[in-house]
Each structure stands twice: as structure tokens, then as C-alpha cells.
Amino acid sequence: MEPHSFTRKQLYELVWKEPIQVIAPKFGLSDRGLAKLCERHAIPTPPRGYWAKRQAGHKVPKAPLIELEGSRIKDTHTIARFAAVSPRNQTDTIDGAPDPLLAFWQEQRTEIGAIKVAPTLARPHRVIAAWLKEDDDTRRAHLRWGGPSLGVFRTTALERRRLRILSALYTALEARGIVVHCQHHGRIVELRHERDAVAFDLKEYIRQKRRPLNDDDIARGWSSHAKYRVDQIATGLLRGKVDAYLPKTIPTVWTEAEDRPFDEMLGEVAATVLTALAQAKVRREEREAAERKRWEDQQAAWRREEAAKAERARRQTLRDKARDWREAQTLRDYVAAVEAAIEGGDLDVSSDAFRSWSIWALACAEELDPIRATTALET
């Protein structure tokens, strides 16, 4: 798709027409990336609560776009070029075939539907209940020893809502055969099915904003050579992430907005968790099949090597027996030559001495000869 060119004024109209969280994915950008682009070109964006107030029917003023005198940034100059991203659907293909992973995600999303979040933590999921009990025991211990009250620990409105959302998600996943396993230390949760697991993290979205250093920053110890510092700004909004490598068509990160709370995203989260576990199972089975094949190939190679080694040993034995046979024949010929030398008068040896020696020498030949020893075929 051919990229579209946007002027400063066009981008201004765009971000005031729909929420940035809705616009950014259409152009392959993150909401923060589009917000930074607007900030870089001095384009005002709707403040927090703007869209919720508009949805409620309130008249909310729109910040004007101000022409910057003496600036190279003009309303009519092109400031961005990016192409709209066509959303993929169930008919999307991979190398001409339907995308099975996306189809599975859409099937799970339809089957799960909306996940209802309880208004209170009266009956939380067992993992959440264990966390709440641990927090209560910690508070009681501090109070018993006269320590400071920990009343704010896990009792803020945002934290309580986060726990309610996690409780609803864990309950919905366990109803579909997923085991919610929590490690004792760090409260790290794994979502398991059979031998596979994925992690889901839900926490407050902390926005990073870069700004130039001021005199107070330098006085507090910031290097005067630094041009900017990054502030961490708590948004009061939740961001969730499934730790899995999935196609871009399947969401793995969700950031709530004023007009779309995280409660409405739980169906997508659960569908992504199930899809990630299904993908993990397929990849594990592929790894195991590859490992089995590697082991079988290794065993076959070992058997071939052992067979080759046995054949080499057998041939060496054959050569050794042929050598022994030739040596036995040489010994017999030598005894016959000694006997001929005695009979011809060339060697003066008594008959008794020759007989004793020849018996011993022929016995050595008999013992060495594999044919006479009946070991000719042994290998």
C-alpha cells in the first residue's frame, strides 16, 4: 500500500476525530509513538477524559492548532508519511493457506465472549485470596510489633481493581482447563496446560515523557551535559501483556483508555493465552519430534559404526589366521629341510635328538595352523 502524506493540520484533525489508541494501530504505530509524533510537531492532543466526556454527551472544547512563528514547521508542510495497515481477518492467508493460528484465536474469542468482573473481592480466585491473606498477615504482624501501618499496601482503588480483573481472568481460564500456578516468591504467575506455560502481566501503565533539563534538575545532581531527562508518569490506567511470540495479527499487549476499560479486553486476553498455549504445545511437540529423530539418527549412526568396527575386526582376524597358516607351513618346510640336511650328511645330528626336536617343532606348527586347530572359520 502506498504511504499517505500528512500535514500538521491533517494530523491534528485526525487525532481529534478518534482516540489515539484507535488511530495508531491503523498505521502500524503504538499509541505512544503517535503521541510523540504529535508532541514533536507541537500538535495538541485530547487530554485525559476527553473521549469519555464526549461519549457522555458533554461539550468539550478542542484545543486549537497554533501556527508557530519563525518555525520551519508549517501547517501545510508534510510532516509524516505512513501507510495504513489493513486489518487481517479469518480469511487471511500464509503462503496461500488460511492462517490457522489466527483462526484459532478468533474461534476462542467468539466462544469466550465477555468475561464479567465482580464488583468486589468478596469471593476472589484462590490465588488472589492467598495474596490478600498474605497481605493481611503482614499488616497484622507490623501492627503487633508496633510498626507502621501498611494500610496502603495493595488497598489502592487501582490495585483492588487489578486484583478483581486478575481474579475474573484466572477463573475464566481455569474453567477451560488452564492451571493457574503461582510461585511462592515474587508472586509470579504461570498459566499452564499440560506441560506448557505462558505468563500474563497486568500492572499500571507508566508513561515516559522526555523533557529538557531545568535548573532544579541540575541542582539535584543531573549532569549539565545531558539535554533531556525522562519522567515516569503514572497514568492510572492498566496495561496487560501475554509473554509470547505470536503473529502481529494476534494482540499480546492491551492498554486501557478512558473510554475502554480493561474489563472489556479480558475476552481477547483469554483468547490470546489459549492461543499462546496451543502454539507452545505445537512447538514443544515439534522440538520433541526433532529430538527423537536426532536421537534415532544418532543411534543408527552408532549402530553403523559398531557394525563397521566389527567388520574391520573380522577382516583383521582373517588376515591374522592367513598369516598363522603361512607361518605353520613355513615351520613344516623348515623341519623337512633340516631332515633332508641330516640325511644328506650336511648336518651332523643324532637321530634321537632330531626326533625329539621335530616332534616339538611340528607340534608348534600344528598349534599355529588354524586349519589343523579347527579354528579356520572363527572370526
The phi, psi pair for 93, rounded to 5°, reads -125, 160
pLDDT for the residue 310: 93
DSSP H or E stretch at residue 37? helix 31-40
288: cell is 520433541
C-alpha cell at 192: 499452564
Percent of all residues in the chain with a pLDDT value above 90, rounded to a whole number: 34
Pick from 69, 82, 67, 68: which is nearest to 23 by CA? 82
Q: What is the pLDDT of residues 219-274, one digit of tens each?
A: 666 565 666 777 788 888 999 999 998 888 889 999 988 888 999 899 999 999 99
Crossing angle, helix 157-174 and helix 266-343, to 10 degrees?
A: 60
Beta bridge partners of 181: 190
Q: What angle (nearest 5°) sits at the alpha carbon of residue 266, between those of residues 265 and 270? A: 125
Measured CA to CA, the distance from residue 198 to residue 224 in angstroms comes to: 44
Angstrom distance (rounded) from CA 151 to CA 379: 86
Tell whether the torsion through CA atoms of 91, 94, 95 and 100 is positive or negative.
Answer: negative
So what's the pLDDT on residue 152? 45
Helix (H, G, I), strand (E, B) or coil at 336: helix
Rounded to an integer, what distance in angstroms lies between the CA atom of residue 376 and that of residue 379? Answer: 8
Count Cα neighbours of 204 within 13 Å in the Cβ-side half-sphere. 15
Distance CA 85, CA 27 (A): 5
pLDDT of residue 87: 46
Q: End-to-end CA distance of the chain, in Å?
A: 75
Look-up of cell digits 536426532: 294
What stretch of H or E contains 241? strand 228-242
Question: What whole-number distance in Å separates Cα of residue 262 and Cα of residue 121?
Answer: 17
Closest-CA residue to 179 (of 274, 282, 272, 281): 274
The whole-number pLDDT of residue 2 equals 55
For residue 29, which of 94, 89, 85 has the smallest C-alpha distance?
Answer: 85
CA–CA distances in Å: residue 4 to residues 27, 34, 82, 164, 362: 10, 15, 6, 43, 105
pLDDT at 91: 44
Tell me 20's DSSP state: H
DSSP letter assigned to residue 114: -
Return the pLDDT at 312. 93
pLDDT-flagged residues of the chain (< 70) = 1-3, 68-77, 79, 82-98, 144-155, 184-186, 217-227, 376, 379
Rg of the chain on CA atoms, in Å: 42
Model pLDDT, residue 97: 45
The DSSP-derived string for 250-288 is S--EEE-BTTB-GGGGHHHHHHHHHHHHHHHHHHHHHHH
Cell numbers given for 279: 502454539
Whether the CB-CB separation of 213 and 230 falls below 8 Å is answered with no
| pLDDT digit string, tens, across residues 287-321 | 999 999 999 999 999 999 999 999 999 999 999 99
**Alpha carbons 81 and 50: distance in angstroms, whole number:** 27
Average pLDDT, the chain: 82
Q: What is the dihedral of CA 22, 24, 30, 36, to 10 degrees?
A: -120
Q: Residue 361, Cα to own-chain centre: how many angstroms? A: 78
